[in-house]
């Protein structure tokens, strides 16, 4: 198996395990990732950590050896398939965090872009180098990168194919944070610790509101926010959170 899925302490860990090819995304690997996302969706994990085994790469992108010599129809189907797999991350009720140590190129960076958060170690190197292969990103990079870093920066990175190091990634908002090297699972777990203790309902509704912010007008977005924040008030967790504040104690959230 080129994809390992494990569960620990309320978290799911998806680990790309094809280090001999720098965890490159063959179509077989993409199918395994898709099945793993389905399993995560059906679990009671509160967050998903995505990382790569081998220490050298998170993921070096789509499997270039497999992409050559295919028909245009097959390439388009491949792009749509890869997009649909990464889209599964948006549809999870829980947030996801990519732990990027080493290379995250092409489809590998697109996988990280589809996660809710990105944490980089100092060895992280990121980019969309497709232009250097005469290609264009096909797994969501042209759409998610500008939403994250703005259209001018995204265009520069996509049209030059240049590599961004960890410090620059953090500065331009591509990475949420740079942390010391270490075990990727532990890094992911430490990052998730800041939000997994809160109500899963409030967390899900807040994430949905922000995810939709980029796709709709401000007016529509404010309507969505009013609806989702009103919905949050209906939860037992909201009642518990406000009561605990007044009673000066720590809230006990139940995800109801
Ligand atoms: N695909 C297939 N194999 C790869 C890939 C890849 N993306 N990246 C690395 N490998 C393999 C190498 O071929 C090599 O295998 P072997 O030993 O059998 O030759 C092994 O991994 C180790 O790689 P290197 O020897 O190259 O390691 P280096 O440390 O010298 O270099 C790099 C590391 C800089 C990361 C280098 O491997 C590299 O540049 N890789 C390619 C990065 C890249 O261009 N990624 C973008 C790919 S295109 C894409 O992602 C989207 C295409 C559009 C999708 C549309 C869908 C239909």
Say yes or no: CB of residue 30 within 6 Å of ligand 1: no
**What is the per-residue pLDDT for 214?**
84
* Cβ pair 62, 107 in contact under 8 A: yes
Q: Are residues 38 and 55 in the same domain?
A: yes
From the list 61, 60, 62, 58, the residue with the least C-alpha distance to 101 is 58
Q: Are residues 130 and 67 in the same domain?
A: yes
Q: What's the mean pLDDT in 152-159?
A: 98
| Tens-digit pLDDT profile for residues 80-132 | 999 999 999 999 999 999 999 999 999 999 999 999 999 999 999 999 999 99
Q: Are residues 186 and 219 in the same domain?
A: no
Host domain of residue 228: 200-246
Q: What's the mean pLDDT in 17-26?
A: 98
pTM for this model (two decimals): 0.97
Q: What's the mean pLDDT in 244-252?
A: 97
Asked if 130 is an active-site residue, the reply is yes
Say yes or no: CB of residue 58 within 6 Å of ligand 1: no
| H-state helical runs in 141-235 | 141-149, 151-160, 166-172, 184-192, 200-213, 218-233
* Cβ pair 138, 82 in contact under 8 A: yes
* Domain-ending residue, one of 192, 220, 237: 192
Q: Are residues 180 and 79 in the same domain?
A: yes
Mutation choice for ligand 1 from 16, 17, 20, 22, CB with most ligand atoms inside 8 A: 22
Q: Provide the token pair at 112.
A: 């990280």
If pLDDT is split at 50, 70 and 90, which confidence band does 225 have? very high
Phi, psi of 119 (to 5 degrees): -115, 130
What DSSP state is assigned to residue 101? Answer: -
| Tens-digit pLDDT profile for residues 184-214 | 999 999 999 999 999 999 999 999 999 999 8
If pLDDT is split at 50, 70 and 90, which confidence band does 247 have? very high
**What is the per-residue pLDDT for 21?**
98
Distance 222 CA to ligand 1 centre (A): 43
Is 120 contained in some domain? yes
**What is the per-residue pLDDT for 93?**
93
Q: For residue 140, what is the domain's CATH number?
A: 3.90.226.10
> What is the tally of structural domains in the chain?
2
| Tens-digit pLDDT profile for residues 131-149 | 999 999 999 999 999 999 9
Say yes or no: CB of residue 63 within 6 Å of ligand 1: yes
Give the span between the Cα atoms of 68 and 165, in whole angstroms. Answer: 29
Q: Are residues 106 and 137 in the same domain?
A: yes
Q: For residue 241, what is the domain's CATH number?
A: 1.10.12
Is 252 contained in some domain? no
Q: Are residues 186 and 63 in the same domain?
A: yes
Q: Are residues 38 and 162 in the same domain?
A: yes
Is 254 contained in some domain? no
* Cβ pair 145, 157 in contact under 8 A: yes
* Domain-ending residue, one of 192, 210, 225: 192
β-pair partners for 11? 8, 47
Task: Give CA torsion, residues 243, 245, 250, 255, to 10 deg.
Answer: 50
Q: Are residues 186 and 207 in the same domain?
A: no
Residue minimizing CA distance to atom 29 of ligand 1: 56
Say yes or no: CB of residue 21 within 6 Å of ligand 1: yes
**What is the per-residue pLDDT for 23?**
98
Q: What's the mean pLDDT in 62-73?
A: 95
Catalytic residue among 130, 156, 168, 220: 130
Mutation choice for ligand 1 from 20, 28, 64, 74, CB with most ligand atoms inside 8 A: 64
Residues of the chain with pLDDT > 90, as a percent, come to 98
Say yes or no: CB of residue 103 within 6 Å of ligand 1: yes
Q: Provide the token pair at 203.
A: 């967390």
Residue minimizing CA distance to atom 54 of ligand 1: 138
Element holding 3 (H helix, E strand)? strand 3-8
Say yes or no: CB of residue 141 within 6 Å of ligand 1: no
User: Taking the alpha carbons of 42, 81, 13, 197 in that order, is the dihedral positive or negative?
Assistant: negative
Q: Are residues 33 and 98 in the same domain?
A: yes
């Amino acid at each position: 198996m080129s994809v390992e899925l494990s569960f620990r302490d309320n978290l799911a860990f998806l680990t790309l395990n094809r280090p001999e090819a720098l965890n490159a995304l063959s179509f077989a690997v993409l199918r395994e990732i898709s099945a793993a996302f389905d399993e995560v969706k059906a679990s009671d994990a509160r967050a998903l950590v995505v990382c790569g085994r081998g220490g050298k790469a998170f993921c070096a992108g789509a499997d270039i050896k497999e992409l050559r010599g295919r028909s245009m129809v097959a390439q388009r189907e491949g792009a749509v398939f890869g997009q649909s797999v990464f889209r599964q991350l948006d549809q999870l009720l829980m947030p996801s965090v990519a732990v990027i140590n080493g290379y995250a190129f092409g489809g590998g960076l697109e996988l990280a872009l589809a996660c809710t958060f990105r944490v980089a170690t100092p060895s992280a190197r990121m980019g969309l180098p497709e232009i250097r292969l005469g290609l264009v990103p096909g797994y969501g990079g042209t759409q998610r990168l500008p939403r994250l870093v703005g259209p001018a920066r995204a265009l520069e990175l996509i049209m030059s194919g240049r590599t961004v190091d960890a410090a620059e990634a953090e500065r331009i908002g591509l990475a949420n944070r740079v942390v010391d090297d270490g075990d990727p699972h532990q890094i992911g777990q430490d990052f998730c610790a800041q939000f997994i203790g809160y109500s899963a309902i409030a967390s899900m509704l807040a994430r949905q509101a922000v995810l939709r912010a980029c796709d709709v007008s401000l007016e529509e977005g404010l309507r969505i926010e009013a609806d989702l924040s009103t919905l949050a008030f209906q939860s037992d967790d909201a009642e518990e959170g406000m009561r605990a504040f007044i009673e000066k104690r720590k809230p006990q959230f139940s995800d109801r």
